[in-house]
Amino acid sequence: MQRSKPSRDMLRWWLPQALFALVFMAFIAVMVGMVEHNLSVRGMALDFGFLGSTARFPLSETIVPYSPSATFARALLAGLGNTVVLALVVIVLSTLLGVPLALARRSGHPLAGGVACSFIDAVRNTPLVVQLLFWYGVLTVGLPPPGKSLQPIPGIFLNDRGLYLTSFGITGTALPLLLVAVGGLVAVAVLAWRGRLHQASLVTLATVIAAAVLWVSLGLGVAPDVPHLDRYNFIGGWSFTPEFAAVVVGSVLYASGFVAEIIRAGIAAVPCGQWDACRAMGLSDRQSLRLVIVPQALRVMVPPMTSQFASILKNSTLALLVGYPDLNSVANTTMNHTGHALECVVLVAFVYLILAAAISLGMGLLERRSARWAR
């Protein structure tokens, strides 16, 4: 009789889960059957063979090399590259902008606090779509044509076709220098992540010395590539289209409001006694934030920040409104050319699921690391 009670407890524990699993699998089977039936009625089948066909449509800008003679798979890969770059840029810039906004809102200064509060409330309560269209209109209508480009400083040109910056290239064989720099950065990052700051500083110094020796021994140099006006537009240097600039500016301003509130709430969650203890030890406010408050606040900030970074990734799909060729935009164009709408939707959903899972995994590692720092 004593063994029957654990058996009943196990049954009560596993039976509801098993029933839920059966219902879920039955639902999936019904949905798959309905999709197959509807496709067969229309004489269609789920087929990804179109990915090997020639795309025959251009993309205004890509990180991954692409031409209209490439395949649809290559076009989707180019769109994926644009999406990843856009999401990373927005995540980094919005975080950098959110920190001073959060500190300004917490400060007792009436002007700084009022400006930060007004900015945060304005961007958070305005739809992102409206902000993207606003900035796109400002960049395309409010700027002069290429022949009358604005030049705030030498080597930088701004017009309604985009922003053009002077680039610098290394002359000579720079592969050994690149390998040393990348290896040094990886080693420093690993050592810093493990808390070995003294060893990380030594590796940084060794990397700089090795790079300097290679630079002199290989006879490397730097050659600037200054943009210049051709027949219709500027060529050379680095260029950023108005579409990319509008998406970055609008998304960064929009996301920075949410990031600032997350950071402010995380700092406010730390008990006030921690501030008093820091002042009693003679620490300044900056030292208190860096050494005591922020490590404890990270435990509160990381979970909502993970959700915010995932939202930034998902909001990047709105880039198609201003013509930026992200993954969603390229997928829509592929649908129109091939008619394989379901396959494109499945691919896009799967890719965004993988990217969101990568963000969640990385932030989960940071959360576990912050729990160690706060001990």
pLDDT tens-digit map of 117-160: 999 999 999 999 999 999 988 888 878 888 888 887 888 888 88
**359: how many CB neighbours lie within 10 A of its CB?**
19
* Res 267 pLDDT > 90: no
Nearest to 316 by CA among 352, 340, 284: 352
Q: What is the pLDDT of residue 1?
A: 45
Of all helices (H) and strands (E), which one includes residue 313?
helix 294-315
How large is the average pLDDT for residues 78-96?
94
How far apart are alpha carbons 298 and 305 in whole angstroms? 10
> At residue 30, does pLDDT exceed 50?
yes
Q: What is the CA radius of gyration of the chain?
A: 27
Average pLDDT across the chain, whole number: 85
The pLDDT score that the predictor gives to residue 86 is: 93
Residue 366 scores a pLDDT above 90: no
CATH number of 72-131+242-373: 1.10.3720.10
Residue 374 has pLDDT above 60, yes or no: no
Residues near 163 by Cβ (< 8 Å), separated by ≥ 6? Answer: 156, 157, 239, 240, 245
Contact 333, 341 (CB under 8 A): no
* Cα(168)–Cα(270) distance, integer angstroms: 45
**Contact at 8 Å (CB) between 167 and 239?**
no
Token code pair at residue 312: 């930034």
Question: What pLDDT does residue 375 have?
Answer: 55
Q: Which two tokens stand for residue 118?
A: 């007004």
Domain spans in the chain, listed from the N-terminal domain onward? 72-131+242-373, 169-220
pLDDT score of 371: 65
- Model-level pTM? 0.80
